[in-house]
Structure 1
């Protein structure tokens, strides 16, 4: 094979190896000799092979699970609570350059915030105000992530696991409450029936 043909083939392969396709929902940070140059937008892009590299970042909403955390509530009830965090990268440059492994960092922040928030309230508050608890956790996490170019969209508490003895106590309490309401309804019904009988007796007289 002629040297000129080999050179042409090499140039073609060199050019093709630098072609990159960036999807609409992603951004690519371009580095030259390890130094950040700019962020490439969606479309067909070309970088200098070997000299330049790219790091692709997904800018869609991303979901991360908060693993079950052992929490002692303010009224000394142990429980296991897990949740989910919804976030998106609003500034790809900061998300890559300011923090290492932002997914791991958000997970750790969320776990710590969940334990902190839920440990300062009573169990009844956690059970009845999950939405409020999620907002409080979100506020704590986004204080840190704003500096990383990451926007926390929402935090949801998914499941709350209680000890078996606590479940039995709550079931007994609920049963007692239902029984109390039933007795009140029965007493009201008897009172109304007695009133009707009294009215009927007056009519007969």
Structure 2
């Protein structure tokens, strides 16, 4: 009799422990995909749930956004430039049942799909697009990955290319190209400045030529500016109407033949007069 009571007590104790173990708690950001004897049961919501050991099995699914880092991938761009590209993917489970039923490990599957899609998309773009238009590539990557993961109940939120590594020789070539481009822009800007300055100087000269007094005022202002610099050079401009007659007589002063002709002609005239008189 005593043995029977002990057996019954042990059985009740085991049943009590089994019932206590059956209670489980799901957090607000979790969902439970339960199976009973291998058959799918309704989705378990957050709170206290009973999962009987030996009869039921539950898979916890996290509905929070997961950050997935794609390791560096060796790719060749459209213009045959080797590069190493890594990226980050943010995805979220939208259908817990499909994420368990449709794929064995949705996180691993999403990672592998992101790596292959990254190599494919980058291989279709040239180096300039990869460096300067990452936003378009990110959208293309997110669209391509999302098309593959949507049947698994996984939605890709964001795909961002983090870093692009190119060979040192290509970096030096790009640096020389950027320097040449800056030199070209500097020369163009300088040429535009010279053109605008010449136009402004032409307009200023036209305005000053209307009134000779304005030229004199400009001369005086130039002298004032030169005197303010405390230099030893003194420039005194003279109007052309004053020094013009002197400039015309310079060739006569420098050529002795022209200067001696009037005196010879005068002597001939005196000789003729003497001859006539005799």
Does TM-score exceed 0.5, indicating one fold? yes
Tell me the residue number matched to 2:91. 87
Shift of 1:5: 5.0
The answer on 1:152 being equivalent to 2:156 is yes
Instruction: Give CA-to-partner distance per residue, 1:47-74, whole Å, 9 cap, x none.
Output: 2122222110101111211111111111
The match for 1:168 among 149, 172, 195 is 172
TM-score (norm 1): 0.90
**Distance in 2 between the 1:33 and 1:127 partners?**
54
Q: Comparing both structures, which one devotes a greater share of its residues to helix?
A: 2
> Would you say 1:105 and 2:77 are equivalent positions?
no
Q: Distance in 2 between matches of 1:75 and 1:61?
A: 36
The CA distance in 2 between the partners of 1:148 and 1:31, in whole Å, is 19
Give the superposition deviation at 1:24. 0.8
Q: 2:63 aligned with 1:22, yes or no?
A: no
Q: Among residues 167, 183, 188, which one is paired with 2:187 in the alignment?
A: 183
Structure 1 residues 178-187 or 192-201, which shifts more?
192-201
Give the whole-Å Cα distance in 2 for the aligned partners of 1:159 and 1:183: 34
Per the TM alignment, residue 120 of structure 1 is displaced from its structure 2 partner at its CA by 1.2
> So what's the TM-score if we normalise by structure 2?
0.68
How many angstroms apart in 2 are the aligned matches of 1:196 and 1:155? 54
The Cα shift of 1:7 comes to: 4.4
Q: CA deviation at 1:6?
A: 4.3
Q: How does 1:1-205 map to 2 (within 5 A)?
A: 3=6, 6-205=10-209
- Structure 1 gap segments, 5+ residues each: none
Please identify runs of 4+ aligned residues in structure 1 that moved more than 4 A: 4-8
Cα distance in 1 between the residues matched to 2:182 and 2:119: 33
Superposed CA deviations along residues 173-198 of structure 1, whole A, max 9, x for unmatched, are 11111111111122222222233333
For structure 2, the 5+ residue unaligned runs are 210-278
Find the aligned partners of 2:45 and 2:93 in 1 and give their Cα distance.
14
Judge which range, 129-138 or 65-74, deviates more. Answer: 129-138
Query: What is the CA-CA distance between 1:105 and the residue it aligns to?
Result: 0.9
Deviations 1:68-92 (A, max 9, x none): 1111111111111111112111111
Deviation at 1:201, TM superposition (A): 3.0
CA distance in 2, matches of 1:101, 1:158: 25
* Higher relative contact order, structure no. (Cα contacts within 8 Å, ≥ 6 residues apart): 1
